[in-house]
Amino acid sequence: MERIKIRDKFFVPYITNRQIMSAVDNVAEEINADFENSGEVPIILCVLNGAIIFTGHLLPRLRFECELAGIRVSSYKGTVSTGNIREVLGLTTDIAGRTVIIVEDIVDTGQTISKLCKNLEDRGAKDVRVCTLAVKPDIYSNERKLDYVGMEVDSKYLVGWGFDYDQMGRNLDAIYVLDDKPFNKMKYYVLLGPPGAGKGTMAKLLVEKLGYRHVSTGDLLRKEISAGTPLGAQAKILIDGGNLVPDEIVIGMIRNEIESNPSATGFLFDGFPRNVAQAKSLDDMLQQMGQSVTRAVCIYVSDEEATRRIKRRALIENRMDDTDESVIANRMRTYHEITEPVIKFYKDCGKYFEVSADSTIEENFRRVSKVID
């Protein structure tokens, strides 16, 4: 089981399906012990929607006659308990003189359940019992006796096996807990430097060494071009001329890469940010996640050496923008005029490091590793 993302939040594994099943077995046996030979026909009252899955597993394990009914109450909005019970979907079964077993997914403060019990007693129920898959003992007020409890859980926000986050995640076959520090160990490195300096080569070696995710906006754009997407068609004209593609396109790509790789331990941005506006957007994006750029590392070589390397790469990678002298010259100009100010941006926030990449790949990698480790 891995960390998962639901809407804007991350959740980590908490209770396995096997543990849940064993809790359901235990609870079912406790209820059977009370009702199997009692002659009673209790009403099993499923509290919708959360307890649907629990009820669905519990019912076939009960070895006595019973009726099934549902009621919908609500006390949650988002991840914060409001404490107010609202009966949304009324109970249609006549419960006067009957034994009712409320089936809940979770009891936290206990306010919802005690109000519900009182409501059922006011309607004339003979005996009201509470069965819950889980209880949060840290915050449970003990206002009302819980007759059948599957498991005790921490007072954290749970999702899966009936528990939802804004109606999502109920279908997960295990229970997950909110990961409130999802990116704690995450590293974000920015690789700067002129085209042809070897950022991609260094990034690939760093990925092998550290397991971080290499995000090259150039590679992502080239993928769009080969897939023949409208975005690719728009990017191709700009790339072939040695010009930058619009900021919102690359920023969207970066956001998508971060959000769709929640289990990454770090990111190496190669060819991004390409101007100060992109650097600021990256800062804002990471800030919203409680994160920040770890370091910006400039891998530099002279323009002459960069141009030589680009021409050598043209023979291997078949890139249009690597073959034409005037396009290469335009990319160099773009780098000096538009991308170089990014260096000052990171210098100003004390995150800037530079490495001369004028040696062999092995030596250059040793130098870069020193800064990144």
- Residues at the contact surface with ligand AMP, assessed by CB under 6 A: 195, 216-218, 221, 238-239, 242-245, 250, 271-272, 274, 278, 321, 331
Chain-centroid distance of CA 25 in Å reads: 32
DSSP secondary structure letter of residue 245: P
Q: Which is nearer to ligand AMP, 9 or 274 (CB)?
A: 274
Paired with 130 in beta bridges are 102
**Amino acid code (one letter) for 4:** I
Q: Which is nearer to ligand AMP, 257 or 321 (CB)?
A: 321
CB of 349 to ligand AMP, least distance (A): 19
Distance in angstroms (rounded) separating the CA atoms of residues 183 and 8: 13
Q: Which is nearer to ligand AMP, 198 or 271 (CB)?
A: 271
Distance in angstroms (rounded) separating the CA atoms of residues 210 and 369: 10
Q: Which is nearer to ligand AMP, 4 or 250 (CB)?
A: 250
- 264 sits in the region (left: phi over 0; alpha: psi -120 to 50; else beta) called beta
CB of 226 to ligand AMP, least distance (A): 13
CB of 299 to ligand AMP, least distance (A): 12
Check if the beta carbon of residue 133 is closer than 8 Å to that of residue 21. no
CB of 320 to ligand AMP, least distance (A): 10
Distance in angstroms (rounded) separating the CA atoms of residues 99 and 18: 31
Q: By C-alpha distance, which of 188, 164, 158, 38 is closest to 98? A: 38
CB of 60 to ligand AMP, least distance (A): 57
Q: Which is nearer to ligand AMP, 131 or 250 (CB)?
A: 250
Sheet of strand 175-178: strand arrangement: 4-6, 9-15, 175-178, 158-159
CB of 352 to ligand AMP, least distance (A): 18
Q: How many residues does the chain have?
A: 373
φ/ψ (deg, to 5) at 355: -135, 130
Q: Which is nearer to ligand AMP, 95 or 282 (CB)?
A: 282
Chain residue whose CB lies nearest ligand AMP: 218
